[in-house]
Amino acid sequence: MLFRGGLCEEIGLRGFALPELQKRFSPLKACIILGFLWAAWHLPAWWQRDSLSILIPFLAVIALSVIFTYFFKASGNSLFIVILLHASLNSFDDVYDLMFPKLTEYSLWELPYIAIVLIVGAVLALR
């Protein structure tokens, strides 16, 4: 699981891109820009979905960028923490898909989960 997102993506996202973005932007702007880029990275995986099923996860990834950056900064810029967060999120998604295959056919079932991510991301961004 670490190699499917947690390890490889976070080395590039928060290990390299975030410090570079923070040279030009505030921490909040930097992590939102990073979130936008991270979400764009996932567009090929969402390509055949309808517009709403692309927009909502796109916004959730931006919110996750805020959440991950909060923990990254709070831990003294520890990549280990965000690698574990990312890997655990990917693991949760995989387990959820296996446990509830019928629910995952309908993208609207993702809305409560994504709403929580968006709210937490907004709260942390406003801190």
Nearest to 1 by CA among 84, 98, 67: 84
The DSSP code sequence of 95-121 is: HHHHH-TTGGGSGGGGHHHHHHHHHHH
| Range of weakest confidence among 1-5, 69-73, 103-107 | 103-107
The structure's pTM equals 0.78
Torsion of CA 88, 90, 91, 94, to 10 degrees: 160
Domain region containing 97: 2-126
How many domains is the chain built from? Answer: 1
Whether residue 6 contacts residue 90, with contact meaning beta carbons closer than 8 Å, is answered with: yes
Q: For 99-124, what is the mean pLDDT?
A: 67
Matching residue, tokens 């609207």: 108
- Chain segment 8-54, per-residue pLDDT in tens: 889 999 999 999 999 999 988 998 999 999 999 989 988 887 887 78
